[in-house]
Amino acid sequence: MNITLRVWRQKGPDDKGRMVTYKVEDVSPDMSFLEMLDVLNEKLTLEGEEPVAFDHDCREGICGACGVVIDGEAHGPETTTTCQLHMRSFSDGDTITVEPWRAKAFPVIKDLVVDRGSFDRIVQAGGYISAPTGTAPDAHAMPVPKADADRAFDAATCIGCGACVAACPNASGMLFTAAKVTHLGMLPQGQPEREARVVQMVNQHDEEDFGGCTNIGECAAVCPKGIPLDTISQLNRDLLGALTSSRAE
Amino acid sequence: MANSTLTKQRSEALGSTVALKSAMAVTGVILVLFLIAHMYGNLNVFAGQQAFDDYSHHLRELGEPMLPHGGFLWIMRVVLLASVLVHAYAAAVLWRRAGRARPVRYQVTKRVQRSYSSYTMRYGGILIALFVVFHVLHLTTNTIHPGGASDSPYERMVAGFQPEFWYVTLFYVASVVAVGLHLRHGIWSALTTLGANRQSRQRSLNIIATVIAAALTVGFLLTPLSVTLGLVE
Ligand code: HEM
Ligand code: SF4
Ligand code: FES
């Protein structure tokens, strides 16, 4: 396959940045999208040019590092991570546009690499339990209904990739935040801090300059882990509960 | 987790994006309930001038003698105006935040699943607000009176939707369609914001939103179109 790539190039956080067009030849349909970028970068290196910076780590769809927007869709045309997207999803001769996640809360570091530290700060604000865990408890010491355990587990599969923010017309980080709130809020260990958690995480979300959610649903549609939109409804309910709660500090 | 800051955090969260959209949801529900009642009132046009004007008259007598004449109507007006102002204020703040949250735009964008109605909420809302101002000046205060002023709400309306004022009717039709689109996403969104959205219920929520939006659109279109088409005179 021969591909024309339009890639966002930006030297550093303060550079203005621009789109640059490259030709990539002899691409195998079995290559992953990142391998295709590797081929481009080898060529650029041999030609003495700066390779395109992109983030990646596991290359097996579990670390969440490799997010880019491909032809206007977060992670491209398949609902998966960029490292798990293959060139067979494109056609010979295609022109493909590659841009970094666009959000004030995800500033571009270089080319396609953004800083997702804002997600870490949302988690620091309350996405944990402070009960000492000790050794693993007996399996049946604390019964958890199966449906709750499943929902908590599904929410816990969020890999923090940021596709939800990238796809949201409001650049909201609410699906990510809701995944954490739901994951901990479904389990007995998460109850003591449930009210404080949602309040603090939502405040941090807003402080990071993410936009507000308007329930459009693009986030859940592109999420590689299938985090459902209804987690946001659960977060809202928890927040409204916490705001009207009479629990003392 | 530092619980000593919870009170402070709580008051900060009262101004959060989630609190703002909750305010939009609650005021939106109030406005939808008003629209249902209003549509019912308008459909009285098919019962003739007497019934229509009586309905308008009864609105002013509602609650008497516990309330003064027109008291109920004024309570409604205050509640509606407050709802509209809160709704619009929250929308404006969230709109500005969304603009700030993505300072550099994408060069290529693609819609994945979002509906046309979710996409037009903000501009549609502006159109509806302009419509409401025009509409109150037209049929409530009768300051604008295409076809002549009248003390009878029925006559004001029939005069205003005559074929020679096709542009008035057209503006009504466009605005009512905008209301329908606004409610299609708005009802779904309000229910989600207020915590009713579960994956197993999403189909029902979508059906509820579509049915209410469609019923209000058709119901509101019937009255002006019937006048323009000469079915009511
Ligand atoms: C297109 C069909 C519509 C017709 C024929 C219609 C007709 C009327 C009439 C005759 C009145 C005056 C009632 C009275 O004085 O007793 C009125 C008031 C009003 N209408 Fe409509 N209306 C329509 C659609 C709408 C829509 C879609 C909205 C909201 C988005 C709306 C909002 C209002 C408001 C806020 C008032 C003022 C209530 C007050 O202060 O007394 N109307 N309408
Ligand atoms: S919710 Fe989904 S899209 Fe958002 S960060 Fe988590 S895994 Fe990525
Ligand atoms: S590189 Fe880890 S998810 Fe793609």
- Every domain of chain A and the residues it spans: 3-109, 116-132+139-244
Provide the mean pLDDT of chain B: 94
C-alpha triplet A42, A106, B88: angle, nearest 5°: 145
Answer whether A104 touches B (CB < 8 Å).
Answer: yes
Among A58, A113, A157, say which to mutate for ligand 3: greatest number of ligand atoms within 8 Å of CB: A58
> Residue B186: inside a domain, yes or no?
yes
- Note the pTM of the prediction, 2 decimals: 0.91
Eight-state DSSP code of residue A86: B
Q: Check which CATH number belongs to the domain holding B48 and give it.
A: 1.20.1300.10
Please state the φ and ψ torsions of residue A106, each to the nearest 5 degrees.
Answer: -120, 75
CA B180 to chain CA centroid, nearest Å:
9
Q: What is the per-residue pLDDT for B2? A: 46
> Residue B10: inside a domain, yes or no?
no
Q: Is A52 in the pocket of ligand 2 (CB under 6 A)?
A: no
Closest CA to A242 of B226, B119, B14, B164: B14
**Lowest-confidence segment of A8-22, A191-205, B60-74, B96-110 by average pLDDT:** B60-74
> pLDDT by residue (tens digit) across A138-177?
888 888 999 999 999 999 999 999 999 999 999 999 999 9
B-interface mutation test, from A79, A97, A182, A203, most B Cβ less than 10 A away: A203
Provide the mean pLDDT of chain A: 95
Q: What is the per-residue pLDDT for A137? A: 79
* Cβ–Cβ pairs < 8 A, chains A and B: 165
> Residue B135: inside a domain, yes or no?
yes
* pLDDT > 90? residue A100: yes
Q: What is the per-residue pLDDT for A136? A: 81
* pLDDT > 80? residue B199: yes
Domain of B52? Answer: 17-104+114-228
* pLDDT > 90? residue B233: no
Rg of chain A on CA atoms, in Å: 20
d(CA A101, CA A177): 17
Closest CA to A82 of A180, A207, A224, A184: A224
Q: What percent of chain A has pLDDT over 90?
A: 91
Q: What is the per-residue pLDDT for A248? A: 58
What architecture (CATH level 2) is domain A3-109? Roll (3.10)
Structural domains in chain B (count): 1
**Mean pLDDT computed over B114-127:** 95
How do A95-99 and A3-9 pair as beta strands? parallel
C-alpha triplet A90, A99, A57: angle, nearest 5°: 80
Q: What is the per-residue pLDDT for B114? A: 93
Asked casually if ipTM beats, i.e. exceeds, 0.95, the reply is: no
**pLDDT band (50, 70, 90) for residue B1:** very low
What architecture (CATH level 2) is domain A116-132+139-244? Orthogonal Bundle (1.10)
Answer whether A217 touches B (CB < 8 Å).
Answer: yes
Residues of chain A contacting residue B21, judged by C-beta atoms under 8 Å apart: 212-214, 236
Instruction: Name the residue facing B101 among A69, A170, A228 (closest C-beta).
Output: A170
> Residue B3: inside a domain, yes or no?
no
* pLDDT > 70? residue B146: yes
CA B75 to chain CA centroid, nearest Å:
18
A-interface mutation test, from B9, B14, B87, B204, most A Cβ less than 10 A away: B9
Counting other chains too, the contacts that B222-225 makes at CB distance below 8 Å and 24 or more residues apart are B222/B42, B222/B43, B223/B42, B223/B43, B223/B45, B223/B157, B224/B157, B224/B161, B224/B169, B224/B172, B224/B173, B225/B169, B225/B173
Identify the three-state secondary structure at position B103.
Answer: coil
d(CA B102, CA B23): 24
